[in-house]
Amino acid sequence: MPQYLATIPNNDAGKQAVNHLREFGPWDFGITYRGSLSDFLRQLSEVPIVATQVLEALPYEFHALEVAEGQEKIAIPKILRWHSDPTGRRQWRGHIEAIEPNVKFRLSALGLPFSLGGWHNSYLKTLNIGAAGGGGRADVKVAVLDTGSDKLHFVTDFYDITTTSANLHPGAANQVDTDGHGTAMATLIHEVAPGASISMVRIADSDPEYMHVLAGLAIAVCDCQAEIVNLSFGFVDFGGSCGACGANDVSRSIALEKMLGMLIDLDPSIRIGFRAPIFVAATGNQRSTTGFHYPAAFDYTIAVGSVTDSGQRSSFSNYGTTHTAFLVAPGGEEVLPQEHVGSGSTGICFGTSVSTAYISGILALMRQDGSYSSLSREDLIDALLKMCVMPGGGNANEYGRGIFHYV
């Protein structure tokens, strides 16, 4: 049956709605309640993880529902109308903010083993990482949400949420990646910032779904304690209608937006050692001239597009979204003359995923540079953007703030 994700306030009105869905969902709405995001994380580990506790203290929680095939357009609007009371004063009439499809997306399979090559060294020169100074922090932590990692010696923690068995195992052992994409992204980040601590959160083999991404974000920030989170992926379609009001031709990932904002604003008292995270996301590779994928479309992220070795926008790189922190970095080219940064057994590595990994590495490197190590989250992002240079003839619509070059 089709699965949906409900964004529900963590208050009395929200609890009213959850109780109603759990007890009477099949009879009143024709749906089955499957549990919260916290429940999902509990199923994954025999040992409690911090993310579970933190989620239960956030202003919103996320709940999985199943709807009978063909009944979605009847059941979902009915639920939203019924649970539209933010006061929660009437029995069984609570508050649900939005209900969206638990969509999936596909990552580009590269195969293993992954080998660096192609234009990688030239791209490092474009980034000018040699300009970074020393004297910064040595405890910089980066988390990568992806397909996993394959025997990478520099990965310090590995979390796997792809099955329902107990397999959350922090530490470098038991790494798994059957796709190659995650291995490639972690390798690129390590190439730029070899001193950073990299945690891998395996969210899928090749087809991550909405719930897994939300869970991975919570683990990255709360358990990995990452202040830089690499999101070399993007959701394209959330059902074509608004998850809150049902308006047609409105596609928006409300739960993902809520999660990013809550993790940035997380009360430090909830998580000892917490540093507000920077989310770095790929704009996407669909040649769109009118917008980015989610989560790059949100201002909570740094949105990264791709340019070629010559500094021109890559033909596939999405653009056309007004965004406060949009920049571009080397990512290659699909059409001839083709550019890439390496290859696996089944494909070559290029795209906005590559550009995103490079910028995540750059942010880690800046934290290790005494000139930037003590900056706040907002000031570090501002410093990053000030190092971008607009190419000749370029414009903000296509290049954002420009091409990154360390100075």
Instruction: Determine, yes or no, domain membership for 333.
Output: yes
Does residue 166 carry a pLDDT above 80?
A: no
Instruction: Determine, yes or no, domain membership for 107.
Output: no
Please write the tens of the pLDDT for every residue from 354-392: 999 999 999 999 999 999 999 999 999 999 999 999 999
Q: Of the segments 25-34, 68-77, 241-250, which one has the largest average pLDDT value?
A: 25-34
Dihedral of CA atoms 201, 207, 210, 215 in degrees, nearest 10, equals -20
Q: What pTM does this model have? A: 0.96
Instruction: Determine, yes or no, domain membership for 82.
Output: yes
- The alpha carbon of residue 60 and the mean position of all alpha carbons in its chain are separated, in whole angstroms, by 18
Please write the tens of the pLDDT for every residue from 9-53: 999 999 999 999 999 999 999 999 999 999 999 888 777 889 999
Does residue 104 carry a pLDDT above 70?
A: yes
CATH number reported for the structural domain that contains residue 227 in this entry? 3.40.50.200
Average pLDDT over residues 157-164: 84
48 and 185 belong to one structural domain: no
Mean pLDDT estimate for the chain: 92
Q: 272 lies in which domain range?
A: 115-404
Measured CA to CA, the distance from residue 256 to residue 246 in angstroms comes to: 18
Neighbours of 56 (CB within 10 A): 12
160 and 281 belong to one structural domain: yes
Does residue 249 carry a pLDDT above 50?
A: no
Asked whether the bond before 337 is cis by omega within 30 degrees of 0, the reply is yes
Average pLDDT over residues 214-237: 93
Q: Which of 43, 66, 101 lies at the terminal end of a domain, its last residue?
A: 101
Does residue 348 carry a pLDDT above 50?
A: yes
Q: Which of 52, 78, 101 lies at the terminal end of a domain, its last residue?
A: 101
- The alpha carbon of residue 391 and the mean position of all alpha carbons in its chain are separated, in whole angstroms, by 28
Instruction: Determine, yes or no, domain membership for 106.
Output: no
pLDDT, position 24: 96
Measured CA to CA, the distance from residue 27 to residue 21 in angstroms comes to: 10
Please write the tens of the pLDDT for every residue from 300-315: 999 999 999 999 999 9
Please write the tens of the pLDDT for every residue from 186-206: 999 999 999 999 999 999 987
Q: Which residues contact 209 (CB under 8 A, 6 or more apart)?
A: 102, 103, 104
307 and 362 belong to one structural domain: yes
Could you identify the residue written with the tokens 């507000």? 276
174 and 206 belong to one structural domain: yes
Instruction: Determine, yes or no, domain membership for 110.
Output: no
